[in-house]
């Protein structure tokens, strides 16, 4: 592949060939190593699709059923592959249908390059058919965006787009290309990848005095506690992180986007942080003497009330994005930089430690949680299935090797709490934006990004109906995605809040669903529906072993709640077990 790319560049430079803007765009994608595109054609992007007709041996295009499905698929691809996702959409409604996915990718730091078609340049500002000001619409939800009106700009702008999307703290980039620029021929002298942009510094300068201060603070700590997020995964620093906590004997808890950066059965992995996190990590946050945050942003769902958050602790914050440090929680030691570089620098200065008594505190908290919550979730005394036992059985069958893509709601929190992982890039979910409808299309992209792995989409009966049309994408491409619907016949998370905080005034949370198995069969996808515990294991096993896509609906308790829970407006140590 690399030899072919070099040959293409050399040939272009020698010939100084005249090609169209559309061809130049596709040449850029090939040289950037793109092999998969998710998209939907339309009038304003038709020249690019016409050119793509001659590139289908080098670029695989997946026709989605809705542009939102396309961008969520691009996110799933980026999250499992570690590469930049690429999405095509036309102008007007095609471009605006990307906005939710752009916002989702922005807050979750997912690298995307989205290409939108636009009306002819001379029609800009005339309210032409399917014209929208996509640049101003998407400015708040992109890392960078740019409109191209001249084909000569395409190579340089695309190079910048890929560099900006993937470097530093990743994020989505949108390039809007007018139709005349797609059709225009120009003298193409090759494509050069971007490695530097003046005034853009994706990695801040590492200050050694802060490295030393952080190590010294950790060495002196009696109750150190590490909280880690997706920055460990994005920085490909999983091994460096493991060496760091193992040398210091540091208990570590994860945000939902940090899940799978450290295998879930690691002895120093003490569980999940936040609103529905484990009891120990929440309570012990307000007991530690040094809090070490690695690649996470102190989201409100992790911290609860900031005026009651870790006030007793010295805080060390490692992050590649300087704007995140001191934004929500004041850092005593700010460690700017890529954690793949900064973690080993700190590790080298650490003393070998074993905080056995401190770790025992987390163990005792887990015993309380098992007794109050987990035993009942895994071994209910009624005939009604729980979400937790479904995920537990899925763990047994997949041995923690599967990629699990979750939608948003109770099932998401349960899956994040109970799923087991042995490999990184295995938990794909919408974290910061909480986008219902994310899972089905994201699972499509996740499968293309990790073709050799089992991909299971765990979805609620509400979220599945938001993007159910993507079953058509799965059908047409025979994508081997397993779809597990946990159906509680409610918009469960909203209902839980209404039960606990609004006197059981269930306002518009009862949701009726179609016969999902019949819908799947309409898309020529096999499926099954169960509600008996005796059929659970065999049904899950059939789903996983089926050759091709499969939909399994499992009916679970209607009014089961997710605990522990930190109520909104409370501190993390006020976490409720019941």
DSSP string, 297-347: ---HHHHBSGGGSSTTSEEEEEES-GGGTTTSS--SEEEES-HHHHHHHHH
- What Rg do the C-alpha atoms of the chain give, in angstroms? 25
Establish whether 27 is a catalytic residue.
no
In the 8-state DSSP scheme, what is residue 499? H
Q: CA nearest 257: which of 433, 59, 520?
A: 433
Question: How many CA atoms, within 13 angstroms, populate the side-chain half-sphere of residue 155?
Answer: 18
Backbone angles phi, psi at 37, to 5 degrees: -125, 140
| 395 vs 377: CA distance, rounded Å | 15
| 267 vs 196: CA distance, rounded Å | 41
Q: CA nearest 488: which of 390, 362, 374, 367?
A: 390
Establish whether 381 is a catalytic residue.
no
Catalytic residue among 143, 160, 166, 179: 179
Non-local (6+) Cβ contacts of 59 within 8 A are: 26, 29, 30, 34, 35, 36, 37, 52
Residue 434, token pair as written in the block:
């909480």
Establish whether 493 is a catalytic residue.
yes
Catalytic residue among 67, 153, 377, 553: 67
| 205 vs 192: CA distance, rounded Å | 26
Establish whether 193 is a catalytic residue.
no
Catalytic residue among 284, 413, 466, 493: 493
Catalytic residue among 130, 287, 368, 476: 130
Catalytic residue among 10, 14, 129, 222: 129
| 119 vs 127: CA distance, rounded Å | 10
Establish whether 67 is a catalytic residue.
yes
Q: CA nearest 377: which of 368, 390, 360?
A: 390
Adjacency order of strands within the sheet including 60-63: 60-63, 36-39, 85-89, 112-118, 172-178, 144-148
| 246 vs 184: CA distance, rounded Å | 58
Question: Which residues are the active-site residues?
Answer: 67, 129-130, 179, 493
């Amino acid at each position: 592949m690399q030899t072919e790319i070099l040959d293409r560049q050399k040939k272009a430079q020698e010939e100084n060939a005249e090609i169209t803007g559309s061809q130049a765009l596709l040449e850029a994608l090939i040289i950037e190593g793109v092999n998969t595109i998710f998209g939907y054609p339309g009038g304003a992007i038709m020249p690019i699709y016409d050119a793509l007709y001659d590139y289908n041996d080098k670029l695989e295009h997946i026709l989605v059923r809705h542009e939102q499905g396309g961008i969520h698929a691009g996110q799933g691809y980026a999250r499992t592959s570690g590469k930049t996702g690429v999405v095509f959409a036309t102008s007007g409604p095609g471009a605006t249908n990307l906005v939710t996915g752009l916002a989702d990718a922005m807050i979750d730091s997912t690298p995307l390059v989205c290409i939108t078609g636009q009306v002819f340049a001379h029609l800009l500002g005339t309210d032409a058919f399917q014209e929208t000001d996509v640049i101003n619409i998407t400015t708040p939800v992109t890392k960078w965006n740019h409109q191209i009106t001249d084909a000569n700009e395409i190579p340089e702008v695309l190079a910048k787009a890929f560099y900006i999307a993937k470097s530093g703290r990743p994020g989505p980039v949108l390039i809007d290309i007018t139709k005349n620029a797609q059709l225009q021929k120009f003298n193409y002298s090759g494509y050069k990848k971007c490695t530097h942009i003046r005034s853009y510094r994706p990695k801040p300068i590492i200050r050694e005095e802060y490295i030393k201060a952080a190590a010294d603070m950790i060495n002196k700590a009696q109750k150190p506690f590490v909280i880690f997020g997706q920055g460990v995964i994005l920085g490909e620093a999983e091994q460096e992180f493991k060496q760091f906590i193992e040398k210091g004997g540091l208990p570590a808890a994860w945000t939902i986007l940090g899940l799978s950066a450290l295998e879930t059965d690691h002895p120093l992995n003490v569980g999940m942080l936040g609103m529905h996190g484990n009891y120990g990590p929440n309570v012990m946050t307000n007991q530690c003497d040094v809090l070490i945050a690695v690649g996470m942003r102190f989201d409100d769902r992790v911290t609860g009330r900031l005026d009651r958050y870790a006030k007793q602790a010295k805080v060390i914050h490692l992050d590649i994005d300087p704007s995140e440090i001191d934004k929500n929680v004041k850092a005593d030691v700010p460690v700017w930089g890529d954690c793949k570089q900064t973690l080993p620098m700190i590790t080298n200065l650490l003393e070998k430690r074993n905080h056995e008594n401190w770790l025992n505190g987390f163990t005792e908290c887990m015993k309380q949680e098992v007794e109050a919550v987990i035993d009942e979730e895994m071994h209910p005394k009624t005939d009604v299935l729980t979400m937790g036992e479904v995920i537990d059985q899925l763990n047994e069958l997949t041995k923690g090797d599967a990629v699990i893509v979750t939608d948003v709601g109770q099932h998401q929190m349960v899956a994040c709490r109970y799923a087991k992982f042995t490999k990184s890039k295995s938990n794909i979910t919408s974290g910061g934006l909480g986008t219902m409808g994310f899972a089905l299309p994201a699972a499509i992209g996740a499968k293309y990004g990790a073709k050799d792995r089992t991909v299971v989409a765990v979805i609620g009966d509400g979220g599945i109906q938001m993007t159910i049309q993507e079953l058509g994408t799965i059908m047409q491409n025979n994508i081997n995605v397993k779809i597990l619907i946990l159906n509680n016949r409610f918009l469960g998370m909203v209902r839980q809040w209404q039960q606990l905080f609004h006197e059981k005034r269930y306002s518009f949370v009862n949701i009726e669903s179609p016969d999902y198995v019949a819908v799947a069969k309409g898309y020529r996808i096999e499926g099954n529906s169960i509600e008996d515990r005796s059929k659970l294991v065999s049904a899950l096993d059939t789903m996983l072993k089926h050759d091709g896509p499969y939909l399994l609906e499992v009916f679970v308790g209607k009014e089961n709640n997710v605990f522990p829970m930190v109520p909104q407006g409370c501190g993390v140590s006020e976490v409720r077990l019941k």
